[in-house]
Structure 1
Amino acid sequence: MPDTGVIVTGGASGIGRACALALAETGRPVAIWDRDGAGARETASFAATNGATSVGVTVDVTDTSAFAAAIATTREALGSIGGLVHAAGVVAPTAVGNLTEPLWDAVLNVNLRAHALLTKALLADLRQHEGSAIVGISSVEGLVGQAFIPAYCSSKAGLLGLTRSMAHELPPIRVNAVCPGYIDTPMLNGATGGDPGFMEAFRKKSPFGRLGRPEEIATAVRFLMSDEASFITGAHLVVDGGATAVDR
């Protein structure tokens, strides 16, 4: 595992928090970026218990004007930046017939636009260090359709295209994506309103009959960020408990 610092967006909770902690377990310095500054600092505190250098940074990833200051703070705290995990994400359960321009933009700006523009802002740092890597959190909804979240599906499918494009352009920086299935996170609970019927349907999607855990996504991300994945780029790793592999 490289010893350079990694920025994890959306690290205040859910998959982002799990990714930051999984990287910290290896001793990798981590910067947790989130518009929930208190949550970001809490994750950083958890990461520090593993002996990792860590910092929580309050930043909205849709605000590109905030990137320079957040990057400078991160670089000073961690000493280097050699990785990015873009886990920040939002979902808006609204079918096409009720879609509005602000809603579309809100989802695409966080899930897709921010990944591209943050990568651009970090290129000088990433190119300075051997073994630099980028992982974007896509979704199985980027591979299959879901009627009620068209903006989310589009953003996650777009992230896979962006991953392949950047993998072509950026070597030796490696660029990959992870496609989680139905994971027990605040986002999933919020999108369904905690409806037991929806949650049970999601559990049944997997042959295992359960939701995934954020930590199960985080270990896949940690692998892709490591030297063990040194010849993997432009790929997406599906971690969905078999949900997209079977007809259920």
Structure 2
Amino acid sequence: MSGVVVTGGASGIGLASAKALIADGRAVSLFDISPQVVAVADSLGAHGVVVDVSDTDSMAAAVEQAAVAMDGIDGLVHAAGRVLPEPVGMFTVESWDAVVDVNLRAQALLSQLLLPHFEKALAAGTAPAIVGISSIEGLVGNPFIPAYCASKAGLLGLTRSMAGQLGPLGIRVNAVCPGFIETPMLADALAVPEVKSAFVAAAPLGRLGQPEEIGAAVAFLMSPKASFITGTQIVVDGGVTSRHA
């Protein structure tokens, strides 16, 4: 049985997505820059590989490892992400690229690396799917993190482009836009009481989201239940963006 590559799989939304996919009976290979990914994968009965998704050669090698471990690949969840609080006037070319390479370029390059494996899955009668983790910041913007916002908005454009190209082959491509979720990426911000209160107040539901709530949306989009959904995004934000309409 072929399986799904989940980037950023050692923690946060990536890990929650992997758990949801495993609960649905999917084989999973976790990609993460953290050495802990192997132990995390072992604890789930999954495959894990340490890989920097901003490094094309490393990704190519990791894809081949995953294909062997899972006897094929028919899905991708790109949850690896990076954010740097550097507004215009502060970021450098290197820091800008560090964010965009992980958040946006990695999904494009991984999809390209995975396409031959998806074609094999199609020939075997399986319909591949891709889900990228975007953000509400890619919809409404944030003045403090322009590279992050640009990368997440770009991911939505990439989603629509790839859906148009790959749809005729039978490959679906979608995105999930999380709001303020309790993840390691937000840990520093949430440690500031005023910031945490502002995040909670921004959502009509009056709370932060949990990684498992994003994982559930990802698992749905990766499943046959979403077989007629492609080229779009699901916003899981407790209603934050409803106040920006």
**Superposed pair shares fold, TM > 0.5:** yes
Supply the AA of the counterpart residue of 1:165: S
Identify the match of residue 8 of structure 2 among 4, 7, 10.
Answer: 10
Task: Give the C-alpha shift of residue 85 in structure 1.
Answer: 0.2
Query: 2:112 and 2:84 mapped to 1: Cα distance?
Result: 27
Q: Secondary structure at the match of 1:105?
A: helix
Identify the match of residue 86 of structure 1 among 78, 93, 97.
Answer: 78
Q: Secondary structure at the match of 1:30?
A: strand
Query: 1:131 and 1:37 mapped to 2: Cα distance?
Result: 32
Identify the match of residue 74 of structure 1 among 66, 69, 76.
Answer: 66
Query: 2:9 and 2:3 mapped to 1: Cα distance?
Result: 14
Aligned to 1:51: none
Task: Give the C-alpha shift of residue 202 in structure 1.
Answer: 0.5
Which sections of structure 1, spanning at least 5 residues, go unmatched?
49-53
Tell me the percent identity.
Answer: 56
Structure 2 contact 175–233 (Cα < 8 Å) conserved: yes
Total equivalences in the alignment:
239
Task: Map Cα deviations across residues 169-219 of structure 1 (whole Å, 9 max, x no partner).
Answer: 1121100000000000010113x2721111110011111111000000000
Query: 1:28 and 1:46 mapped to 2: Cα distance?
Result: 15
Aligned to 2:227: 230
Greater alpha carbon shift after TM alignment, 93-102 vs 151-160: 93-102
Aligned to 2:214: 217
Aligned to 2:55: 63
Query: 2:118 and 2:236 mapped to 1: Cα distance?
Result: 26
Query: 1:97 and 1:114 mapped to 2: Cα distance?
Result: 26
Supply the AA of the counterpart residue of 2:176: V
Query: Following superposition of structure 1 onto structure 2, how do residues 53-202 of structure 1 map, counting pairs within 5 Å?
Result: 54-129=46-121, 130-171=126-167, 172-190=170-188, 192=189, 194-202=191-199
Q: Does 1:24 align with 2:15?
A: no
Structure 2 contact 31–50 (Cα < 8 Å) conserved: yes
Structure 1 contact 21–43 (Cα < 8 Å) conserved: no
Structure 2 contact 190–196 (Cα < 8 Å) conserved: no
Supply the AA of the counterpart residue of 1:104: W
Which sections of structure 2, spanning at least 5 residues, go unmatched?
none
Query: 2:86 and 2:61 mapped to 1: Cα distance?
Result: 34
Task: Give the C-alpha shift of residue 236 in structure 1.
Answer: 0.5
Q: Secondary structure at the match of 2:240?
A: coil
Task: Give the C-alpha shift of residue 47 in structure 1.
Answer: 2.1
List, as ranges, runs of 4+ consecutive aligned residues in structure 1 with deviation greater than 6 Å.
none
Structure 1 contact 88–110 (Cα < 8 Å) conserved: yes
Query: 1:85 and 1:167 mapped to 2: Cα distance?
Result: 15
Q: TM-score, normalised by structure 1?
A: 0.93
